[in-house]
Amino acid sequence: MAPTALLHSLADAVSNTAAQHLHKRDNMGYAIPPSLIVLICMLGAGICVCLGFAVHSQFFGTSSNELKSMSPEQMDYMREVRERNMAALQGTIGRRGMKRPIVSNMS
């Protein structure tokens, strides 16, 4: 086949394709609507996440990062630190909003 003949046949094929009307495709050839396919995929992904969580918690158990109750020594230390910080803040900013003791010079 000569190159010009090939070129003419290609041009005819393109013009015939462009001349045809585009018809609306329903469901794009699928038996169920595309939105239902997306919904099924989302539900499947959610089920996979739940199964993964169940398997992980079954094999690895609970986290050891949970808060534990404080010992009395730790509570005393934290109270002491809070009191020191409050005293330092009161010394820095003053005692605004706190009642001042009444001091008289009459003694």
Does this model's pTM top 0.85? no
Which tens digit of pLDDT belongs to each residue from 1-38? 567 777 777 777 766 665 566 666 666 777 888 899 99
What is the model's pLDDT at position 38?
96
Looking at the domain assignment, is residue 107 inside a domain? no
Which tokens sit at 73? 């020594």
Which tens digit of pLDDT belongs to each residue from 28-71? 777 888 899 999 999 999 999 999 999 999 998 776 777 778 89
Q: Which domain holds residue 35?
A: 2-94
Looking at the domain assignment, is residue 76 inside a domain? yes
What is the model's pLDDT at position 67?
75
27 with 34: CB under 8 angstroms?
A: yes
Looking at the domain assignment, is residue 21 inside a domain? yes
Q: 73-88 b/e with 16+ CB inside 10 Å = b?
A: eeeeeeeeeeeeeeee
Looking at the domain assignment, is residue 100 inside a domain? no
